[in-house]
């Protein structure tokens, strides 16, 4: 994706107030992020581990989401698969919940998704980050197809939050 500035990211939030978007933590090392290899940029809030954020492009425009990661319930399986990049991690997949944008969000509606806990899906797909033994299943797909699937999954989630 195209590199984004802190200001562009703050302006792209769709599911929190303008005040929250102004105050939330944006990574300081934006210039060093591997943008060419990112389908979305995701990060955990260093001040509040139960918060995470992601920004991606939808129809050529940046859209950012504020997410909450509720602590996993004890009965939840320890090994899970990310629903965006289909990487399996032991204890490393988090349920992330996004309040819906606009009125639906004010009424308490939200959308949940299982995501790599470090939000590094793009890097796992490209083999730039190691998911450990059995993390990536062999698939009869080219890298481009896997990237396309990741982009499609993220776009579907963001669309779900917006509409």
- Closest residue to Zn ion, Cβ-based? 82
The residues binding Zn ion (CB under 5 A) are: 82, 84-85, 87, 116, 121
Structural contact between residues 111 and 144, judged by C-beta atoms closer than 8 angstroms: no
Q: Compute the least distance from the CB of residue 3 to Zn ion, in Å.
A: 21
Q: Which is nearer to Zn ion, 9 or 54 (CB)?
A: 54
Q: Compute the least distance from the CB of residue 154 to Zn ion, in Å.
A: 9
Q: Compute the least distance from the CB of residue 83 to Zn ion, in Å.
A: 8
Give alpha helix (H) positions in 31-136.
102-106, 121-125
Beta strands in 36-144 (DSSP E): 40-45, 48-58, 61-68, 79-81, 88-90, 93-99, 110-116
Q: Radius of gyration of the chain from Cα atoms?
A: 15
């Amino acid at each position: 994706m195209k590199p984004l500035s802190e200001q562009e990211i703050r302006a792209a939030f769709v599911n929190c107030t303008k005040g929250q978007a102004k105050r939330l933590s944006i990574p300081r090392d934006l210039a060093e992020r591997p943008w060419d290899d990112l389908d979305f940029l995701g990060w955990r809030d260093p001040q509040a581990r139960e918060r995470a954020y992601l920004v991606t492009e939808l129809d050529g425009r940046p859209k950012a989401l504020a997410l909450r990661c509720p602590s996993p319930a004890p009965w939840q399986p320890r090994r899970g698969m990310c629903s965006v990049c289909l990487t399996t991690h032991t204890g490393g997949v988090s349920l992330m919940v996004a309040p819906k944008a606009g009125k639906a969000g004010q009424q308490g509606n939200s959308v949940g998704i299982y995501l790599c806990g470090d939000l590094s899906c793009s890097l796992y797909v490209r083999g730039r980050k190691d998911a450990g033994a059995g993390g990536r299943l062999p698939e009869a797909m080219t890298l481009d197809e896997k990237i396309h699937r990741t982009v499609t999954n993220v776009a579907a989630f963001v669309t779900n939050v917006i509409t």
